[in-house]
């Protein structure tokens, strides 16, 4: 049940998308998110869908994975849809009791729901095609110019790497402890909110104890290998821009530039 | 027959690149009162199999029948199954959470909805069975104890549910020799005194040889061999090809025999070997 969470899950592959420099991918996603907020009409969404579709097919990602990633956020999407649907003023289409649906509301709600869906899929494409290690490497390098103003880029990246590294471990552990307590008759699935929260104690206490123990062990293991932070630290795989990275980055700047410009175009 | 598995299959992450078949057409039967040893290489599917026995994992296909009740039947209550089949996980001390040892052991019986007196009785009993002194330890925190003692508290927590079948997944992993012997003695004690069926997962062929009366060998997600302890350990070559082995003393006796000494080579324990060698030496002297 816990393993169903796909958001932030890496889907291994060898496509050009997988091989792109993570910095390029991060910048593209940032541009993607920004440009989505510039879109005011429906037709640029065709370009957005084409963009997402191309990546999915080139990276050979199974569509099931993408849809599964949307599921946990379905609730938020639905709420956004409902709020926009009922609370936008304008030309009335239907009236159901106190609720009114307007033409503008219908348009707005579909538009906002689509924007959310694109936002989620777009960002999950980054994590699906980039291994967590590459991702944090990319973030570290992108943040390193800010070291001069005191931003601990390496430490932040290291913390992220460790956190990401331990997500599967913690999930596995949660699963295991849950099962162990279920074997002793614990019940995590029924009861009201209060009793459910109380029922989590047998899960959370061991989980925290183990997490602290693990953190302690990891710190010792890092010390034992003379870890002293980022200063003068070299790495096995230096990130390096290749020609394909330049080509992709340039074409994406043009592409998203165009999407942003649609806001100001009159067609 | 208390446990019966029919054509049980289980696949992890079906339909993704991480797909892995963990159980492949597993058929097995366990009778009441048996002491079963479950051996197999790391990743052979033992732990997955064990979690199917009390319904923590549901087979992808196939049927599991516990004490006459099919787990795929909607009317079967999982709580009842989990009471009948007690499962002690690997490193069970990692699941302790209560302030006192008493409360931790009482967690299972309380979940069964028993009266306070009954719970009290069961905690006392369980502590005694695993060799923990009730009066001195009941109010202490489980986190103050040594590794071996913590593990006993965790085992007591399962024993207190009075299961008909007790499944132990590598109960001696990571313990020192003393702790290991103590735990194994207590398990044997449980088997003899409480008359329950035990399934023991272990990597130690010595422990298996000393304790169990029948063995299941898992290999590459299948049950590769079943038989009495002696039958299974007589197939040393086959076991070795699966990355397993036979007890040291059995190995020794086989070698001793191959050097031309007329001894039985299917001994399982040091005591047996001693008897056999003494007998052999005496017969030599007499001749």
Q: What is the pLDDT of residues A14-56, one digit of tens each?
A: 899 999 999 999 999 999 999 999 988 888 999 999 999 999 9
- Among B129, B191, B138, residue whose Cα is nearest residue B156: B129
pLDDT, tens digit, for every residue of B223-255?
999 999 999 999 989 999 998 989 999 999 999
CA distance A104 to A166: 46
* A179-202 tens-digit pLDDT: 999 999 888 877 788 888 888 899
Domain boundaries, chain A: 1-130+238-267, 152-233
Long-range Cβ contacts of B18-25 (<8 Å, 24+ apart):
B21/B221, B22/B48, B22/B221, B23/B48, B23/B49, B23/B52, B23/B59, B23/B221, B24/B220, B24/B221, B24/B222, B25/B62, B25/B222
Q: Among A10, A180, A210, pick the best mutation site for testing chain B contact (most B Cβ within 10 A).
A: A180
Cβ contact (<8 Å) for A179 and B89?
yes
Q: What residue ranges define each of the domains in chain B, with the CATH number in brackets? A: 3-232 (3.40.50.300), 247-287 (no CATH)
Beta carbons of B89 and A176 less than 8 Å apart = yes
Q: Which of A3, A183, A206 sits opposite B82 (nearest CB)?
A: A183
Nearest to A185 among B13, B83, B94 (CB): B83
Would you call B41 exposed, middle or buried from its count of C-beta atoms within 10 A (0-12, 13-18, 19+)?
middle
For A216-266, the pLDDT digits (tens) are: 999 999 999 988 877 778 878 788 888 999 999 999 999 999 988 888 876
> Would the CB atoms of B92 and A185 count as touching at under 8 Å?
no
User: Is B97–A205 a contact, with Cβ atoms under 8 angstroms apart?
Assistant: yes
The whole-number pLDDT of residue A8 equals 54
């Amino acid at each position: 049940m816990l393993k169903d969470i796909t958001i932030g899950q890496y889907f291994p592959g060898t496509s050009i998308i997988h091989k792109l420099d993570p910095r390029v991918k991060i910048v593209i996603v940032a541009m993607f998110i920004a440009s989505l907020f510039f879109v005011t009409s429906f037709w640029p969404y065709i370009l957005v869908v084409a963009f997402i579709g191309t990546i999915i097919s080139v990276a050979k990602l199974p569509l099931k994975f993408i849809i599964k990633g949307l599921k946990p956020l379905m609730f938020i999407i639905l709420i956004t849809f409902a709020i926009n649907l009922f609370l936008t003023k304008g030309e009335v289409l239907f009236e159901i009791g106190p609720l009114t649906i307007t033409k503008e509301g219908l348009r707005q709600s579909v538009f906002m729901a689509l924007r959310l869906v694109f936002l989620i899929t777009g960002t999950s494409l980054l994590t699906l095609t980039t291994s967590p290690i590459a991702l944090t490497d990319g973030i570290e390098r992108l943040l390193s110019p800010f070291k001069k103003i005191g931003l601990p880029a390496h430490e932040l990246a290291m913390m992220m790497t460790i956190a990401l590294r331990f997500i599967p471990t913690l999930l596995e552990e949660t699963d295991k402890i849950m099962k162990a307590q279920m074997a002793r008759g614990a019940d995590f699935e029924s009861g009201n909110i209060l009793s459910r929260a109380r029922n989590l104690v047998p899960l959370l206490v061991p989980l925290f104890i183990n997490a602290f123990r693990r953190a302690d062990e990891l710190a010792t293991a890092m010390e034992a290998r003379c870890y002293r932070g980022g200063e003068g630290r070299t790495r096995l795989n230096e990130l390096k821009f290749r020609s394909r990275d330049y080509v992709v980055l340039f074409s994406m700047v043009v592409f998203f530039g165009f999407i942003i410009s649609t806001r100001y175009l009159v067609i | 027959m208390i446990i019966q598995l029919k054509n049980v299959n289980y696949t992890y992450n079906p339909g993704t690149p991480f797909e892995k078949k963990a159980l492949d057409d597993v058929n097995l039967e366990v009778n009441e009162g048996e002491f079963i040893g479950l051996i197999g290489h790391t990743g052979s599917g033992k732990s997955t199999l064990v979690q199917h026995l009390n319904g923590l994992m549901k087979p992808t296909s196939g049927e599991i029948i516990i004490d006459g009740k099919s787990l795929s039947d909607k009317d079967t209550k999982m709580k009842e199954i989990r009471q009948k089949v007690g499962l002690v996980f690997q490193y069970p001390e990692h699941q302790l959470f209560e302030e006192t040892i008493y409360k931790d052991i009482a967690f299972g019986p309380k979940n069964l909805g028993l009266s306070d007196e009954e719970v009290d009785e069961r905690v006392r009993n369980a502590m005694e069975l695993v060799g923990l002194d009730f009066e001195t330890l009941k109010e202490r925190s489980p986190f103050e104890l040594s590794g071996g003692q913590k593990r006993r508290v965790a085992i007591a927590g399962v024993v207190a549910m009075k299961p008909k079948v007790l499944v132990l997944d590598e109960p001696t992993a990571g313990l020192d020799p003393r702790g290991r012997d103590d735990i194994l003695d207590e398990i044997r004690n449980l088997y003899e005194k409480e008359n329950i069926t035990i399934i023991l997962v272990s990597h130690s062929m010595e422990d298996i040889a000393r304790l169990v009366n029948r063995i299941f060998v898992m290999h590459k997600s299948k049950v590769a061999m079943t038989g009495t302890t002696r039958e299974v350990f007589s197939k040393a070559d086959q076991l070795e090809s699966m990355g397993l082995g036979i007890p040291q003393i059995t190995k020794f006796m086989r070698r001793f025999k191959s050097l031309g000494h007329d001894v039985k080579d299917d001994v399982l324990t040091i005591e047996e070997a001693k008897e056999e060698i003494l007998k052999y030496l005496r017969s030599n002297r007499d001749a």
